[in-house]
């Protein structure tokens, strides 16, 4: 593809010619136009063969050159003899991406494949029929990358988004600059999601969401989870971090990081602040009137209940309900099969002038029988 021509004068009156043309990776399409040898942009002096691949019969192939229907019909491949931009068409699958064949003296070429973030790619600065090129310079967006190299190759590894741009090379021959080179993301920047305010004792499930590129076959990504900069989960294929029961110590700033296989590409999420809150406690004071209820799951058969203070010490009553004035100590209800629930009222700091506070805690000691709901209390 011909472009704007710029004359460059070197230290001695030696003339070099520079040109510009676009380069972009082909997208995933049903009809594909393959280039052999597999370099982009293609050049006439490589004896380029174009092959059209798609649905339908070979004889149904229609070729286009520079936007016009061309005479090389009914063949799915041919050897190029003229420079220009080529496309092919198959019924039902549409047009292929365009392929440009140049006839320049100097070109900067990349492999004819989809280039993605994390890949390794080598740029080749080549002259007609592989003639010698000296005093080579590589540019990205008009900025010198490396000047006067002995070789004619520039390796970019691993590719990152900042490598995208317009590249060209210059040497002591007429030169053709490369078109823009862009690298789609291998996967998107991850986003960490989860409940920011879990209750103490509840599960915490954090999910690290990242979308892989559709231009590559699915490949497993590795996920790592951090709290306040410290690794707390992974590396793992699963994008989820599950904490079965959180405590106050689990509060902090969480983030996740996603790695490609081999770790060439790594991306981190923004932080998610998680604050674990204590279970709301009833503000019951000494002397308040309480009604305690002891219940077990349905279907457990006939049950009897007894109420005690201080383990299995003082018997306070029987039956599923107990009314009492709040005092310090341990209250418990018991059933068969070593089933016991204990309510503890420890001494605490005063909650009002001259009144000591009593907070209720639940301890479940289960043997054979399943779940229990043991408290309904209110101030009298």
Peptide bond into 235 cis (omega under 30): yes
pLDDT of residue 232: 93
pLDDT of residue 261: 79
Q: What is the torsion angle, in degrees rounded to the nearest 10, for the CA atoms of residue 147, residue 151, residue 156 and residue 162?
A: 20
* CATH fold group of domain 284-373: Immunoglobulin-like (2.60.40)
Distance, in Å, from the CA atom of 109 to the CA atom of 130, rounded to the nearest integer, reads 13
> Fold identical between 191-274 and 284-373?
yes
User: In 3D, which of 108, 169, 121 has the Cα closest to residue 144?
Assistant: 169
pLDDT of residue 325: 64
pLDDT of residue 298: 53
For residue 70, how far is the Cα from the chain centroid?
45
Domain residues of the chain, as ranges?
6-181, 191-274, 284-373
Are 331 and 343 contacting, i.e. CB atoms less than 8 angstroms apart? yes
Distance, in Å, from the CA atom of 296 to the CA atom of 372, rounded to the nearest integer, reads 4
> Torsion-angle region of residue 310: left (phi > 0), alpha (psi -120 to 50) or beta?
left
Are 260 and 190 contacting, i.e. CB atoms less than 8 angstroms apart? no
* pTM for this model (two decimals): 0.41
pLDDT of residue 77: 85
Residue pLDDT tens, the chain, 380 long: 332 222 222 222 222 222 333 333 334 457 888 999 988 889 888 889 999 887 766 667 888 999 888 876 667 888 888 899 999 888 777 888 899 899 888 888 888 877 778 888 888 888 888 788 888 888 888 888 765 455 788 888 788 877 877 888 888 875 445 556 567 778 888 999 999 999 888 899 999 998 887 777 777 889 999 999 999 998 999 999 999 999 999 999 999 999 887 778 889 999 999 999 887 655 566 666 667 666 665 555 667 777 776 555 677 777 777 676 655 554 555 554 444 444 444 333 333 333 333 333 333 333 223 333 333 333 33
CATH superfamily of the domain spanning 6-181: Immunoglobulins (2.60.40.10)
CA 257 → CA 111, 212, 226, 239, 332, distances in Å? 31, 14, 8, 10, 48
Are 234 and 224 contacting, i.e. CB atoms less than 8 angstroms apart? yes
Task: Give the pair of three-digit tokens for residue 349.
Answer: 């700091």
* CATH fold group of domain 191-274: Immunoglobulin-like (2.60.40)
User: In 3D, which of 86, 96, 177 has the Cα closest to residue 137?
Assistant: 177
The neighbouring-strand residues paired with 167 are 140
pLDDT of residue 126: 86
Residue-level length of the chain = 380
Distance, in Å, from the CA atom of 6 to the CA atom of 17, rounded to the nearest integer, reads 6
Strands 99-102 and 42-43: parallel
């Amino acid at each position: 593809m011909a472009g704007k021509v710029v004359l460059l004068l070197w230290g001695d009156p030696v003339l070099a010619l520079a040109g510009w043309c676009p380069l972009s990776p082909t997208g995933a399409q049903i009809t594909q136009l393959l280039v052999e040898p597999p370099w982009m942009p293609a050049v006439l002096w490589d004896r380029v063969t174009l092959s059209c691949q798609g649905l339908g019969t070979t004889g149904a192939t229609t070729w286009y050159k520079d936007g016009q229907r061309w005479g090389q019909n009914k063949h799915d491949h041919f050897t190029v003899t003229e420079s220009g931009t080529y496309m092919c068409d198959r019924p039902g699958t549409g047009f292929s991406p365009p392929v440009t064949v140049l006839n320049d003296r100097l070109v900067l070429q990349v492999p004819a494949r989809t280039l993605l973030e994390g890949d390794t790619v080598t740029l080749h600065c080549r002259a007609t029929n592989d003639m010698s090129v000296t005093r080579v310079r590589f540019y990205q967006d008009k900025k010198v990358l490396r000047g006067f190299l002995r070789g004619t190759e520039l390796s970019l590894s691993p590719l990152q988004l900042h490598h995208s741009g317009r590249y060209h090379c210059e040497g002591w021959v007429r030169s053709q600059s490369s078109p823009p080179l862009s690298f789609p993301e291998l996967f998107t920047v991850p986003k960490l999601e989860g409940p920011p305010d879990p209750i103490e004792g509840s599960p915490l499930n954090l999910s690290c969401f990242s979308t892989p590129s559709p231009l590559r076959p699915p490949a497993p990504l590795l996920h790592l989870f951090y709290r306040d900069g410290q690794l707390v989960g992974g590396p793992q294929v699963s994008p989820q971090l599950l904490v079965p029961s959180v405590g106050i110590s689990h509060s902090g700033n969480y983030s996740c990081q996603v790695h490609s296989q081999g770790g060439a590409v790594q991306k981190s999420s923004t932080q998610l602040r998680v604050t674990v809150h204590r279970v709301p406690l009833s503000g019951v004071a000494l002397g308040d009137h309480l009604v305690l209820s002891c219940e077990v799951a349905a279907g457990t058969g006939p049950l009897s209940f007894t109420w005690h203070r201080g383990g299995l010490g003082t018997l306070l009553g029987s039956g599923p309900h107990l009314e009492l004035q709040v005092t310090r100590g341990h209250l418990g209800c018991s059933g068969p099969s070593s089933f016991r629930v204990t309510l503890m009222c420890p001494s605490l700091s005063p909650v009002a002038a001259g009144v000591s506070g009593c907070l209720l805690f639940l301890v479940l000691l289960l043997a054979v029988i399943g779940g229990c709901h043991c408290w309904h209390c209110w101030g009298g």
